[in-house]
């Protein structure tokens, strides 16, 4: 089965601190992986994506993610968090059977001043 796990339900960081959000996937072949961000009551905005090639991918808003096949992980990072980064973050996997995205349970990021 193809699935995504986000182990952290809620993370709080101080403004200016670094951030890492964890994502693990289950898929036999090379996965297509995405990170989306959602502000309250809003739609989802794509931060970055991984298809193949370079395992470190850069996205918008200063985010990056590293694909590690050996750990089945695709963790999202940001060197210095801003208050405006407070939101819900979803890791997603393209499910080749349904030909649609399957989402992890999400991680809520809170930023302290």
Partner 1 sequence: DTEVTQTPKHLVMGMTNKKSLKCEQHMGHRAMYWYKQKAKKPPELMFVYSYEKLSINESVPSRFSPECPNSSLLNLHLHALQPEDSALYLCASSQGGGGGAGNTEAFFGQGTRLTVV
Chain residues in the site for partner 1 (CB under 8 A): 32, 34, 36, 41-46, 49, 51-52, 90, 94, 98-106, 108
* In the complex, least distance from residue 42 CB atom to partner 1, rounded to whole angstroms: 6
* In the complex, least distance from residue 14 CB atom to partner 1, rounded to whole angstroms: 24
Judged by beta carbon, residue 51 or residue 83, the one nearer partner 1 is: 51
Judged by beta carbon, residue 98 or residue 113, the one nearer partner 1 is: 98
* In the complex, least distance from residue 8 CB atom to partner 1, rounded to whole angstroms: 14
CA dist., res. 54 & res. 112, Å (int): 33
Judged by beta carbon, residue 15 or residue 88, the one nearer partner 1 is: 88
Report which of 4, 51, 8 is spatially closest to residue 27, judged by C-alpha positions.
Answer: 4
Judged by beta carbon, residue 16 or residue 69, the one nearer partner 1 is: 69
Cβ 46 vs Cβ 63: under 8 Å: no
* In the complex, least distance from residue 98 CB atom to partner 1, rounded to whole angstroms: 5
Cβ 33 vs Cβ 87: under 8 Å: no
Cβ 110 vs Cβ 20: under 8 Å: no
CA dist., res. 86 & res. 104, Å (int): 18
């Amino acid at each position: 089965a193809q699935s995504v796990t986000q182990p952290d339900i809620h993370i709080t960081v101080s403004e200016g601190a670094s951030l890492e959000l964890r994502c693990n996937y289950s898929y036999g072949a090379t996965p297509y992986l995405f990170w989306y961000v959602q502000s309250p009551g809003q739609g989802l905005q794509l931060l970055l994506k991984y298809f193949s090639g370079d395992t470190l991918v850069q996205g918008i808003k200063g985010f990056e993610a590293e694909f590690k096949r050996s750990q089945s992980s695709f963790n999202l990072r940001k060197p210095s968090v801003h208050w405006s980064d407070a939101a819900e973050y979803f890791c997603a996997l393209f499910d080749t059977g349904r030909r649609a995205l399957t989402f992890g349970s999400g991680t809520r990021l809170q930023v302290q001043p």
